[in-house]
Amino acid sequence: MASAITRHRRAVTRQVRHARPPRTRRRVARTAALTAAVLALGGTSGAAAMYAQVTGGIEKADVDAFLGDDRAPEPEADPVDGYAGRALNILVMGTDSRDGENAALAGETDGMRSDTTVLVHLSADRSRVDLVSVPRDSLVRMPSCTLEDGTTTEPRSSVMFNEAFTVGAGDTGNLAAAAACTRLTLEENTGLRTDESIVVKMDGVRDVIDALGGVPMDLPEAMDSPKANLHVPAGPQVFDGTTALAFLRARTGTGNGLETGSDLSRIERQQQLVDALAAEVQGTDVLSDAGSLLPLLTSVTRSLSISSGLADVRSLAGLALTLRDVDPASLAPVTVPTVPAASDKYRVEWTDEADEIWARLAADQPLTDAPDPTATGTATGTASATP
């Protein structure tokens, strides 16, 4: 196949600049790993509650108090990566569910959708993290999905990718069924197997950013998006959680690529804010200071819906520990290559280059080849056609 995988092309001509200068590569990797640990611990409240319920009726006896002072306790073993030795695919979905406070943030509307979907691939040796953004407007095949009441849906062809989340959620808004239908749809169209999934709600995004004290941004031009309730000037500023959420949701308006109304441009802006957020976390002690960390954990806990396989605290902590030394370069995201759909100019279809992405992930190989130091005139950020 004479095609190439290209790293995310900048759809926004003038990029957002981060107010903070970038830190060292080593510190970026450590921040990523610690953030993963925070999410892991924050998403286990259900498992912890179940454990407390089971053990609550057991009578506990402090036998150690009568054994003497010369019996030093055995050191506790480090957490273990439950997926050690194998690659791991985690599908992360951001939902615009309008329940509770989410309705106040974005207005009431029927149904539930996934506006952002990223496939996170952890290599078997834990030396690499690959991130693949899936455009919500992609036309794909949707297999039969099981709903909360046990009924199943009919398979569909040529539907928007994020419709799978809506269909799975059904009339009851079940996040587990929504995530399952989205995972099945991704698997149907890629041939990959997803191992776990995480659903992130809008109000959680807002609260996490507020707990961090906001995100410093430096905009090349003012942005105005009435539909997303975003009105921000050009220049350096700090986004609070509500403004950051509006920035993430904005798709139409003026400034910083909003004129195109493109979901691909919105993915670019979302990645810009995530980069700025990572830089902000690097410059604080939020992940090591309990007073700052507890509010963040509280926000994360109620903003996530996590598949059962990720509900073990020690396994997740072990997984996070194995990612400490990941090369930050491997965190650079790609977006599924697309072209405008022949049937609808407002939708997109995956190109043949997408097949190479899925093949490389299935083989647990890097999405991009290492640059050849002897080559000249070669475009950066591309991979050869043959894995």
Q: In angstroms, how far is CA 156 from the centroid of its own chain?
A: 26
Tokens of 233: 């000037």
Is the pLDDT at 20 greater than 70? The verdict is no
Q: Is the dihedral of CA 80, 312, 89, 324 positive or negative?
A: negative
Q: Which amino acid is at 319?
A: L
321 backbone φψ class: left, alpha, beta (φ>0; ψ -120 to 50): alpha
Q: Is the dihedral of CA 277, 278, 281, 283 positive or negative?
A: negative
Is the pLDDT at 65 greater than 60? The verdict is yes
* Residue that wins the pLDDT comparison between 151 and 330: 151
With b for 16 or more beta-carbon neighbours within 10 A and e for fewer, the 152-184 pattern comes to ebeebeebbbbbbbbbbbbeebbbbbbbbbbbb
Q: Are 320 and 33 in contact (CB under 8 A)?
A: yes
Question: Could you write out the DSSP letters of every residue in 77-97?
Answer: PPP--TTTTS-EEEEEEEE--
* Residue that wins the pLDDT comparison between 90 and 64: 90
Reported as a pLDDT band with limits 50, 70 and 90, residue 330 is low
- The residue ranges of every structural domain in the chain are 17-52+79-362
Lowest-confidence pick of 6-20, 156-170, 234-248, 336-350: 6-20
Is the pLDDT at 286 greater than 90? The verdict is no
Is the pLDDT at 341 greater than 80? The verdict is yes
Q: What angle do CA 278, 204, 136 make, to 5 degrees?
A: 80
> pLDDT value at position 148?
93
> pLDDT value at position 380?
38
> pLDDT value at position 168?
94
Reported as a pLDDT band with limits 50, 70 and 90, residue 138 is very high
Lowest-confidence pick of 31-45, 226-240, 337-351: 31-45
Mean pLDDT across the stretch 279-294? 57
> pLDDT value at position 375?
56
Tokens of 228: 């997303």
Which residue blocks in 132-240 are alpha helix, DSSP H?
163-169, 175-190, 202-211
Superfamily of domain 17-52+79-362: LCP protein (3.40.630.190)
Lowest-confidence pick of 291-295, 300-304, 355-359: 291-295
> pLDDT value at position 284?
65
> pLDDT value at position 355?
96
Residues 82-111 have pLDDT tens digits of 788 899 999 988 886 545 454 444 444 455
Residues 156-182 have pLDDT tens digits of 999 999 999 999 999 999 999 999 999
Mean pLDDT across the stretch 13-21? 46
Reported as a pLDDT band with limits 50, 70 and 90, residue 145 is very high
